[in-house]
Amino acid sequence: MNTNYFECGDCAELLRLLPDASVDLVMTSPPYAERRKDTYGGIAEADYPEWIAGIAKEIHRVLKNSGSFVLNIKENVVDGRRSTYVLESVLRIAQIFRWTDTYVWVKPNPFPTGNRKRLKDGFEYCFWFTKSKGYKFFPEQVLVPSANKDLEAEKRRKNKGEHPVTNGSGMNMSRRVATDMVRPSNVLTLPVDSTNHEHPASFPVALPTFFIKAMTEEGDVVLDPFAGSGTTLFAAQQLGRDWIGFEIIPRYTEIAQERLAEIV
Ligand SMILES: C[S@@+](CC[C@H](N)C(=O)[O-])C[C@H]1O[C@@H](n2cnc3c(N)ncnc32)[C@H](O)[C@@H]1O
C-alpha cells in the first residue's frame, strides 16, 4: 500500500480506497456540525451521528486488529448550550468499536471564548477506541517523571512487601517499587499551539505524538482522515512511522504538504 502522502478530498470516499486491515492508528479531529457551508457544505447536527458512524465503519475496516482509533472532539456551544450530537456520535461509534478509554487534554493556555457568561474552555476529550483486546499499547514509551513527593524515602524503604497497603481501588501496593519515571494518567496537560499553521484548530504536535508513541511502533501506519494542517502526520514522520492524510480543503492540503516536505 502507498503511504506518506496527502490526498485532497472527502475522507468518506477516500477511506474506501484503502485496503482492509492496513492501518495501525487513526488519530483525528473531525469538524463540528454546520461548519464551512461555503466550502464543503457542513453536516447538519441531526445528520452528524449517522455521518460519523459511516466514517467510523470505514475506519474499523481499514484498521488492523491490533489498531486504535483516537477521536478528539468536544461538545461545541451553539446558542449558549452545549450540543448533544457529539455525545450521540460517540455512543454510535462505541457500537462499532470497543470504547477503551477517554483521555482529557487539559490546555493550560486556552483561547478566550469572548463570552462573559462562560469561562475559558480549558479541556477537550480524546476518545480511545480499539478493534480487539489485542490492541497495541506501549506505556513505557510515554513515561513521565514521578510526582510522588515521598519518592526518595520510598526508594530507600527497606521493608518493601511487609505492609499490605491497598490503594483506593483495592490494589495491593506493598510490592510496588518507587521509580523516577512512571506511567502517565489519562489526563494530558499540553499547551495549545500558538503557531497554528494558518489553521484555526491545529493540534499541538505533542498531542498526536503522545498517542503515536503509546499505540504504535516504528514503521507502523498512521492515518488522519481530517488532516487539516497535517499535525498528526508531521508527528508520525518525526517518529519514524508511515502516514496517510486526507483533507477536503485544498489550501489546508497544501499547508500540510509544505509542513511535511520540510522534515521528510
Ligand atoms: C478540526 S480540523 C483538524 C485539524 C488538524 N488536527 C490539525 O492539526 O491541523 C478538521 C479538518 O477536517 C477537514 N474536513 C472537513 N470535512 C472533511 C471531509 N469530509 N473529508 C476530509 N476532511 C474534511 C476540515 O477542512 C478541517 O481542516
To the nearest 10°, the Cα dihedral for 24, 183, 186, 232?
Answer: -40
Q: Going by DSSP bridges, is the β-strand pair 187-189/81-82 parallel, antiparallel, or unpaired?
A: unpaired
CB distance 27 to 9 below 8 Å:
no
Atom of ligand 1 nearest to the CA of 32: 1
Pocket-testing residue among 192, 193, 247, 255, ligand 1, by greatest number of atoms within 8 A of Cβ:
247
The residues, any chain, with a CB within 8 Å of residue 112's CB and separated by 6 or more, are 120
For residue 31 and ligand 1, the question of a CB distance below 6 A is answered with yes
- CA within 13 Å, CB half, 24: 19
On whether the CB atoms of residues 172 and 164 are closer than 8 A, the answer is yes
pLDDT digits (tens, 9 = 90+) for 135-163: 999 999 999 999 887 777 777 776 565 55
Decide the pairing of beta strands 81-82 and 77-78.
antiparallel
Q: Is the CB of 124 under 6 A from ligand 1?
A: no
Q: What's the rounded Cα separation, in Å, for the pair 223 and 242? A: 9
Amino acid, res. 93:
I
Phi-psi region of 258 (alpha: psi -120 to 50; beta: other; left: phi over 0): alpha
- φ/ψ of residue 53, rounded to 5: -65, -35
CB count in 10 Å sphere of residue 134: 10
Select from 2, 5, 1, 11 the least CA-distant residue to 248.
11
What pLDDT does residue 140 have?
97
How confident is the model at residue 174, as a pLDDT?
Answer: 66
Cβ–ligand 1 distance for 251 under 6 Å, the answer no
pLDDT on residue 35: 73
Q: How many CB atoms lie within 10 A of CB 69?
A: 26
pLDDT at 40: 62
Spatial CA neighbour of 181 closest among 214, 139, 222: 139
Q: Is the CB of 245 under 6 A from ligand 1?
A: no
**What is the structure's pLDDT at 213?**
98
Residue 197 CA: which ligand 1 atom is closest? 9
Condensed to tens digits (0 to 9), the pLDDT of residues 114-137 reads 888 999 999 999 999 999 999 999
Which ranges of the chain have pLDDT less than 50? none
Q: What are the boundaries of each domain within the chain?
A: 5-143+184-263, 145-182
Ligand 1 center–CA 247 separation, angstroms: 6
Q: Ligand 1, residues 198, 248, 255: which to mutate, most atoms within 8 A of Cβ?
A: 248
Q: What pTM was estimated for this model as a whole?
A: 0.92
Residue nearest to atom 8 of ligand 1 (CA): 202
Instruction: Tell me what pLDDT residue 85 has.
Output: 96
Tell how far the Cα of 135 is from the centroid of ligand 1, in angstroms: 26
Cell of 32: 463540528
229 close to ligand 1 (CB < 6 Angstrom) = yes
**pLDDT score, position 158:** 60
Pocket test for ligand 1, best of 226, 231, 246, 260 (most atoms within 8 A of CB): 226
Query: Are 216 and 222 spatial neighbours (Cβ–Cβ below 8 Å)?
Result: yes
The domain 5-143+184-263 is placed in CATH, from the list 3.60.21.10, 3.30.930.10, 3.40.50.150, 1.10.1740.10, at: 3.40.50.150
Distance CA 30, CA 137 (A): 24
Find how far residue 180's CA is from the centre of its chain. Answer: 27
Q: Tell me, what's the pLDDT at 227? A: 98
